[in-house]
Amino acid sequence: MPWTVDLLPADAALCARDADLPGLGAVLNASPLARTIGLGELRHSYLNYKPGTNCVAGLVPVDGSLDAWVAMTYPQARWPEIRKRPKWNEGPRTAVYFDDAFTVFVPLALERRLPKARQLSDDASRAALLSRLGLSNHRLRILRYKPGRRIVLCADGPHGPVAVIKMHADQAAYDRAVAGAVYARSMGGPEVIGTAQDDFAIATAWTRGHALSPQSAPRDFNLAGAMLAHHHVAGNPKKLPDWKPPALLRTVEAISALSPALEVQAQRLAQRLPELTASEMVALHGDFSADQVIRDGQGTVILDWDRAATGPAARDLGSALARLDLDEIEGVDTNEARTALLEGYGAVRELPSGRTIAAHRAQALFALAAEAFRARRADWDDQLRAVLRRVEELCQNPPMPTTKGTIPGLAKALKPEHMRAGFGEKPKAITLTRLKPGRRAMLEYVLPDGQVLLGKLRAKGADRNAPHLQSKLRSAGLNGRDGVGVAPVAGTMDDPAIWLQEQVPGDALGDMQDGSALAHLDAMRRTGRALAKLHSTPAQTTRQWTHADEWDVLEKALSNGPHDDLLSLARARLDGLPSAPRVGLHRDFYFDQVLVTPDTIWLVDLDLYALGDAAIDLGNFLAHLDELALRRGREPGYFAAQQDAFLEGYANLAPLPDMHRVNSFRWISLARHIAIAARFPDRRHAIPALEALCRKELSKGQ
């Protein structure tokens, strides 16, 4: 029996127990078996196992082409009926039978329980379907396939993905998908491009960006949590069906079938799981997890609202945390992701109680116990046991999450209806672009006439200084007419306490940091000149930023690590610097604070503007380029050409401070990046290189 060769040990044990399905191993090994019969490279996209009854696997080509298959195995008694089905044995496409395994491979064109998907295999029928959905002349590829339930496809145009198409098995599933898509669109989600009721098909616009994973930056999880809270605050649950708790008995049966030794433990856990008490009802996603969240650098969108329902907010949070638990069981550290998700949620609205979240998390994780088996993980039996252990832990010691507190007014700032009063019209779209839980948030508002405004909100209350300062800087000459500017202030509001500025055009200088192309070097020179222009503009504040303040920030950043030698070296460098003339500092000047157009350099985020040593801004900018090089695995001098061009541009307008002074602040700023890198998973690898470079450079002249 070739299909039993190289079975995973846990699969082999399962096959030995289920004597009623002699061909179970053939379906569990369907991908390699498909290669041996010339079906090409196929991957499992779905697996449904009913002990003693059948096992069904959905198989999708790895290249996404439409040549999908279903592998099914049955008891011997049913095989004569299966073998004689006329539609599987006649016509240009036929099923492939393994009589000694009572197993059949059926092409998508012969799918019995998802009949609408059959038309995908015929050119004319497929073209007609695309026309009905408003997507004529697009190419399709399969993303996911669940035989008998649904198929999910991507429609590609000349320049990449255009839409996601979902075809369902029946009217009820289609109606629910349409309701979820319409709801999501009303909350800023993807546009519904077209529906085809007779085909049970719906097409929604493709959302560009990347899906979150456990390795995504904490700031992305902050925004994901905040957007989920926004849905819970602003969504209309009355338009959605009621949520139903997981079917615990079904999960117990699945666990028992896969591992009889765990049956007693599974039954005991099902009885011990905390009761899901009634709480505030909100518009639930219903199946929320990190991979349902798309980030494109600015916006955050939650996808796949097919299970949208009215239910307790803790359900969505518990669902997301349970998925992260699965990732951790597979060996990925998800502690930071969990914390960031909850902090982001808590910035918009108060979290449900810790016990309530833990109860939903435990139930959601219990329902996912067999997920590793369905996903064909090599160690699915070990993961099954690990899931039950984690559920046990959640029941015994439910985690009590804490957050950094809500940002007053953020929930209101995200509501178009509420913001109508401030704008005089309802915004077409609102996007939360930045969030620091417990501190501040930035939002983007698109008005009906196309104007885009950026709003800034602080947790500690209204910021009256920043908009006043920005207006004064424009009046003092930084209005863009001399090639350098700051954005015009568009106004302030009291409820929420937010201030608004016009969005200025331009490409972020941070997106231009590759190689030494002439355009990049010119942008660097112009950026240096822009900083000199800021420093040369009469100061518009009395707020001071001293060398002592620089030291305090560094000491706080490095005080919790083995960096006493670095602190001593930095202290000596600072103490050796004489006083310098004070200028108006940006105080957080680096490439992400600069927008470049052919005519103007726009300086953004001047909230920290203060009087201080010009070398602080210059050193900080150079240090960020050093850090970027090390983060990308480059040599410290990788951006030397850009750094030289930046300094050259500054010197063309104003005298450069002594370079020993500039480099002192450069290496002190870089030392702060050691602590910053520790907070971001995608930067931690650079910490040893940062430490070594700072020690080397700060030691010079000692």
Residue 33 has pLDDT above 70, yes or no: yes
Give the domain ranges of the chain.
Answer: 2-110, 115-205, 210-396, 407-504, 508-702
CB neighbour class for 461 (10 Å; exposed up to 12, middle 13-18, buried from 19): exposed
What's the CA gap between 641 and 631, in Å, rounded?
A: 18
Overall average pLDDT of the 529-540 stretch = 97
Q: Do domains 210-396 and 508-702 have the same CATH topology?
A: yes
Pick the CATH number of 210-396 from 3.90.1200.10, 2.40.50.100, 3.40.50.2000, 3.30.930.10: 3.90.1200.10
- The 3-class secondary structure across 66-122, one letter per residue, is CCCEEEEECCHHHHHHHHCCHHHCCCCCCCEEEHHHCEEEEEHHHCCCCHHHHHHHC
pLDDT at site 648: 98
Overall average pLDDT of the 415-444 stretch = 92
Name the phi and psi angles at 205, rounded to 5: -65, 140
Nearest 5°: the CA angle 643, 648, 652 is 150
54-68, 274-288, 484-498, 663-677: lowest mean pLDDT where? 274-288
Residue 667 has pLDDT above 80, yes or no: yes
pTM of the model: 0.91
CB 466 within 8 A of CB 492: no
CB-facing half-sphere around the CA of 11: CA atoms within 13 A: 25
Domain 115-205 sits in CATH 3.30.200.20: yes
Calculate the alpha carbon distances from 402 to 231, 257, 341, 353 in Å.
Answer: 21, 39, 11, 10
Q: In what order do the strands lie in the sheet with 150-157?
A: 139-146, 150-157, 160-168, 201-205, 192-196
Which architecture, in CATH terms, is 407-504? 2-Layer Sandwich (3.30)
326-335, 407-416, 588-597, 677-686: lowest mean pLDDT where? 677-686
pLDDT at site 514: 58
Residue 79 has pLDDT above 60, yes or no: yes
- Model confidence pLDDT, tens digit, residues 344-390: 999 999 999 999 999 999 999 999 999 999 999 999 999 999 999 99
What's the CA gap between 696 and 698, in Å, rounded?
A: 6
Residue 533 has pLDDT above 50, yes or no: yes
Confidence category of residue 482, pLDDT binned at 50, 70, 90: very high
Closest among 341, 320, 308 to 224, alpha carbons compared:
341
CB 309 within 8 A of CB 235: no
- Model confidence pLDDT, tens digit, residues 35-54: 988 999 999 999 999 999 99
What does the mean pLDDT of the chain come to? Answer: 93
Residue 516 has pLDDT above 80, yes or no: no
- Model confidence pLDDT, tens digit, residues 164-217: 999 999 999 999 999 999 999 988 889 999 999 999 999 999 999 999 999 898
Domain 508-702 sits in CATH 3.40.50.620: no
Residue 57 has pLDDT above 80, yes or no: yes
Give percent above pLDDT 90 in the chain: 86
CB 488 within 8 A of CB 481: no
Residue 456 has pLDDT above 90, yes or no: yes
Nearest 5°: the CA angle 352, 355, 357 is 50
pLDDT at site 700: 83
pLDDT at site 322: 98
Residue 278 has pLDDT above 80, yes or no: no
Residue 332 has pLDDT above 60, yes or no: yes
Residue 515 has pLDDT above 80, yes or no: no
CB neighbour class for 364 (10 Å; exposed up to 12, middle 13-18, buried from 19): buried
- Model confidence pLDDT, tens digit, residues 217-240: 899 999 999 999 999 998 888 878
> How many beta carbons lie within 10 A of that of residue 437, not counting itself?
27
